[in-house]
Structure 1
Amino acid sequence: GVLPFRNKVVGMASASPGGLGGLRAQSHLAALLLNLECWVAPRSHAVSQAGEAFDAQGHLVRAQNQQGMEALVQQVLWAAGRLG
């Protein structure tokens, strides 16, 4: 059969109002994506206290979140260039 998700490059990011930023959801999502035969980036990012993490324009305000998202995007772009 056709597997439309096979070898798709996926990066995971989440945000939640809690302290973990959605990490528990990421662990469940990763298992599903791997089962669909996606390539899941080893790096992920979770934004905690999401209510205070974004400014009025929707930009991340904390440097750690900006850096984490940048690193995730760079890893996804790197993999997509090699696997795509």
Structure 2
Amino acid sequence: MEPDQVAIVTGASGGIGHVTAEGLADAGLAAASFGVPATGREFQVRIHEFHELARGRIVRTWQLEDWLAWFRQVDASPAH
């Protein structure tokens, strides 16, 4: 994460062999991203993480980020 970004874990759960977490990343559009020019506009991206555990260690991780909501927040479209 960049120095001006903040991630907040808003929930977590687990089961045998699995742990999940969700949170929000707060940042500003300081540089062009996905073809969208820098505006300085603030935004949030919801993050979900899914971890598989074995012998007390994380052995596999999946991450899901809501980039469609990001496009909406910066008044852009993912289709060019």
Identify whether the pair has TM-score above 0.5, normalized to the shorter chain: no
Question: More strand per residue: 1 or 2?
Answer: 2
- The higher relative CO (CA closer than 8 Å, separation ≥ 6) is in 1
Please, what TM-score do these two structures have when normalized by structure 1? 0.28
Q: Please say which structure displays the higher CA radius of gyration.
A: 2
